[in-house]
Chain A
Amino acid sequence: MKRFSQLAWPYMIWVVLMILLPMLLILVYSLTTSGNEIVNFTFTFAHFQKFFTDPDFLLVLWRSLTIAVKTTIICVILGYPVAYFIARSSDRVRNILVLAITLPMWINMLVRTYAWIGILSDGGIAQTILGFFGLKDMELLYTEGSVLLGMVYNFIPFMILQINTSLCKMDKSLLEASADLGANKVQTFLRVTFPLSLSGVVSGITLVFLPAVSSFFIPKLLGGGQFFLIGNVIENQFITVGEWNFGSAISMIMAVIMMVCMYAIRKIDEHNSGGGNQES
Chain B
Amino acid sequence: MKKEKRIIGKVLMILMILFFYLPIVFMIIFSFNESKSLTNFTGFSFNWYEKLFQNRDMMESLYVTITVAVIATAVSTLVGTISAIGLSKSSKIVKKIMMQLNDFPIMNPEIVTAIGLMLLFITFHIERGFMTMLLAHITFCIPYVILSVMPKIRSLDPNLADAAMDLGATPWQALTKVLVPQIMPGIISGALIAFTMSFDDFIISYFVTGGGVKNLSIMVYTMSKRVNPTINAISTLVVVLITIVLVIINVVPLIKSRREKKDEKVIN
Contacts and interface: CB of A to CB of B under 8 A. Distances in A.
Interface of A: 1-12, 14-15, 18-23, 25-26, 29, 38, 78, 81-82, 84-86, 88, 97, 100-101, 103-104, 106-112, 114-119, 121-125, 153, 156-157, 160, 185, 210-211, 213-214, 216-217, 220-221, 231, 234-235, 238-239, 244, 247-248, 251, 254-255, 258
A118 B39 contact: yes
B45 interface: no
B22 interface: yes
B13 A124 contact: no
Contacts of A84: 9
Nearest to A18: B139
**Which label, helix, strand, loop or mixed, suits the secondary structure of the B interface?**
helix
B116 A108 contact: no
In the A-B complex, list the 8 residue pairs whose CB atoms are closest, starting with the nearest: A22-B116, A8-B86, A7-B86, A118-B38, A115-B23, A85-B9, A11-B83, A214-B109
Nearest to B17: A100
Contacts of B139: 14, 18-19
Nearest to A82: B16
**Which label, helix, strand, loop or mixed, suits the secondary structure of the A interface?**
helix
A110 B221 contact: yes
B109 A25 contact: no
A5 B105 contact: no
**Size class of the contact patch on chain B:** 35 or more
B23 A119 contact: yes
A15 B98 contact: yes
A265 B16 CA distance: 27
A244 B117 CA distance: 13
Contacts of A38: 123
Contacts of A248: 115, 119
A254 B112 contact: yes
A103 B110 CA distance: 22
Contact of A214 (B110, B200, B221): B110
